[in-house]
Structure 1
Amino acid sequence: MGTKEAFGRVRLLDRDELNQGDTALVQLDLEEPIVAAVHDRFVIRRYSPIATIGGGEIIEVGGRRHRRMRQEVIEGLERKLTGTPSTRVAEELRSAKKPVALSELVGRTGFSEEEMGQILNELEEAGEIEVVLSTGKDLFVVPSSLQEEWTEELHETLEKYQQRYPLRSGYSKEELRTRLWKHLTPRLFQALLDRWVEQGEIIVDGQNVALYGHRIRLTEEQQRQVQEMMRIMEEKPFSPPGIEDIQDALGNDLDLLQYCIQQGLLVKVGEEFYFSQDAVNQAWNLLENYLKDHGQVTIGQARDILNTSRRFCLPLLEYFDRMRKTRRVGDKRVLLSGLGKNIST
């Protein structure tokens, strides 16, 4: 190939035998990488005894290994060989099965960047491709047919997930990428999500993805369980029941417990300590007023202010430390900021 020589094997893709004078689609499995471009010419020589046995023209670069005797492979390669520029680029995109950068298409096809830009514009106007991501320096595109397949796959996956976990706000973004599109970079996957959001297909809530219009609806029994849980939380707001009692009130439904946290009904202040949101806000109002008047508070003083025990007071104070409302100095807490009267999770 040019002046470069490399050892390798010739794999016939569309037949079992190649006779003298015939042409065929082949794949060259070389023992070392070489620099080549589409339309480059090459010569094949036998190693021993040395003899020229054929030659050809490169129609695809990139190192993808094709399966022999596959009709879709043969037809795709023939389109790259004899098709129009638009057809050849469309086939490159189809065979990639992922978003491809304009710069990568230039390297694969031999077209200039300007020519490739014109071809992609034609394909986009014809509805054959969609732009997934534009970085300013490069452009990533995907066939419209593949985008439609992915959209259907997304809908099916999210619908099944929401039926199985009706109290969850959505499917974890990273788990979704890993399950369906692990071959995509996080940046490209995020671009796809952004596009689906713009198209009204999905909603993204933090790190979770759900179908557009997804709403969490509690059953009558779940509503009763939440009300019972809140009742026992309000009996002694600063000495709340343990996690076992909370779970028992919620029917030992971990998703319902998580729902109460996400909805701001419960606040997890420690590994095994949950307070109602109202109790956390009330506690902060009492402690903040004391700190403004006295400048510092000990655990014992906070315990007396809240009329609770050290067992509940300590994790609550440590929670306020993590929320950067207070700072521990020795055995005391001091006010770190005067931001607001309420604590949000």
Structure 2
Amino acid sequence: ADVRLKSLDDAPRALRHGQEVEFFCGAAEVMAKVRLLESDTLAPGHEGWAQLALSRAVPLVKGDRFVIRQPSPSLTIGGGVVVNPHPGRKHRRKQPSVIAQLETAAHGTPEEIILQALDSPPPLEVGELLRKSGMPRETLLEALERLRTQGQVVPIGDKTLTDATLVTTPHAWQALVGQMTDLLRAYHQQYPARLGMPKEEVKSRLKMPARPFNEIIQQAAAEGAVASDEAALRLPSHTPHFRPDEQAKVDALLAAFRRSPYATPSVAECEQAVGSEVFNALVEQGRLVKVSAEVVFLAETYDEMVDRVVRFIKENGSITVAQVRDMFSASRKYALALMEHLDQRKVTRRVGDERVLR
């Protein structure tokens, strides 16, 4: 708990940073460790800002008054008032910015307290803001509504203010979007051929839980700051491309596929020809379709093969791997890889030695 703490005038000695005390508030009595935020000691008769690390959870609200006693010999040595019962983290000591935040929390208006809590990423749920501020629900919701009307608070996603609504300030939102676009820009520079940065990687780099992250990227995409697909994020201006030396290798590889569309270079041969990074980019871009750990086809060849297999089954009721092999004058390796892939895609189903449509 963040507290304004006063050492009694007749306390036998100065209160020390890290000192263990007995904490009394209402009917609650627990041990606590004192974290002085402004100095290493608090002399008798002086007051200052502190955090009390309670040995167990105690129901506290902003404004609760408390007393501290030294354990042995038992003696009251100070007391004070709770400013924030749930700060959520340890404050850095001897930091003017921390002290200024605590002063605002103690003496500021509800609007000032809300803006202070929100003015850094990531956005907070209204319920979390309620817990951190210690304000009565009605007071907080009324203040939030005033700030939203004035454009000083921005809801993310759902515009109805409920405990689950994410809220932030325009300044914090722009800072968060800036972090995201800087990440994507650096990623595109490092991997120009990739469609985008995996969402999981973006979330990890931003150190953000799944729920706010999903709503944040939806909002950022709606504003045109990012483009989003199922698995990746990118800048709207990004177009995947290869460097000139890579493009020459890509052209040669794709030409090899076109010369022999049904007996194609293996995955290992592709990686040897263009490198694993470029090969994976070709798969990601949909220009190549990897049907097994070894077999890959040009996208247009793959579509043609699937169409012919499906049409054959519709006309004949079923198809075997040998019939697929003969249809494309390919080896069994390619025919089997294609059919097992279609089984996995749930296009076909194996019945004995035959495949039928699902």
TM-score grouping bracket, smaller chain normalisation:
0.7 to 0.9
1:2 aligns with 2:2: no
2:194 aligned residue: 168
1:326 aligns with 2:348: yes
Pairing partner for 2:286 from 239, 264, 278: 264
Distance in 2, matches of 1:86 and 1:61, equals 19
Pairing partner for 2:357 from 306, 318, 335: 335
Quote how far apart the aligned CAs of 1:149 are.
2.3
Distance in 2, matches of 1:187 and 1:105, equals 16
Q: For 1:91-141, what per-residue CA distance to the aligned partner results, in whole angstroms no more than 9, with x for missing partners?
A: 23348x532222233233333222211211233344433222438642221
Distance in 2, matches of 1:15 and 1:247, equals 62
1:89 aligned residue: 114
Q: Which moved more, 1:237-246 or 1:68-77?
A: 237-246
The 5 Å alignment of 1:25-174 reads: 25-62=49-86, 63-94=88-119, 97-134=121-158, 137-138=162-163, 139-174=165-200
Question: Residue 264 and residue 8 in structure 1: after superposition, are their counterparts in 2 closer, same or farther (change >3 A)?
Answer: closer
Taking only the aligned residue pairs, the percentage that are identical comes to 31
1:208 aligned residue: 232
Question: Residue 141 and residue 239 in structure 1: after superposition, are their counterparts in 2 closer, same or farther (change >3 A)?
Answer: same
Distance in 2, matches of 1:71 and 1:238, equals 70
1:178 aligns with 2:213: no
Contiguous gaps of at least 5 residues in structure 2: 1-24
Relative to the length of structure 2, the TM-score reads 0.84
Q: For 1:48-75, what per-residue CA distance to the aligned partner results, in whole angstroms no more than 9, with x for missing partners?
A: 3333222211111115322321111111
Relative to the length of structure 1, the TM-score reads 0.87
1:19 aligned residue: 43
Distance in 2, matches of 1:248 and 1:5, equals 70
1:340 aligned residue: none
CA RMSD in angstroms, aligned pairs only = 2.3
Contiguous gaps of at least 5 residues in structure 1: 337-345
Quote how far apart the aligned CAs of 1:40 are.
0.6
Is the 8 Å Cα contact of residues 37 and 109 (structure 1) preserved in structure 2? no
Provide the aligned length of Structure 1 versus Structure 2.
331
Question: Residue 109 and residue 297 in structure 1: after superposition, are their counterparts in 2 closer, same or farther (change >3 A)?
Answer: closer
Question: Residue 49 and residue 167 in structure 1: after superposition, are their counterparts in 2 closer, same or farther (change >3 A)?
Answer: same
Pairing partner for 2:308 from 286, 307, 310: 286
* Higher RCO structure (Cα 8 Å, ≥6 apart): 2
Is the 8 Å Cα contact of residues 242 and 272 (structure 1) preserved in structure 2? yes
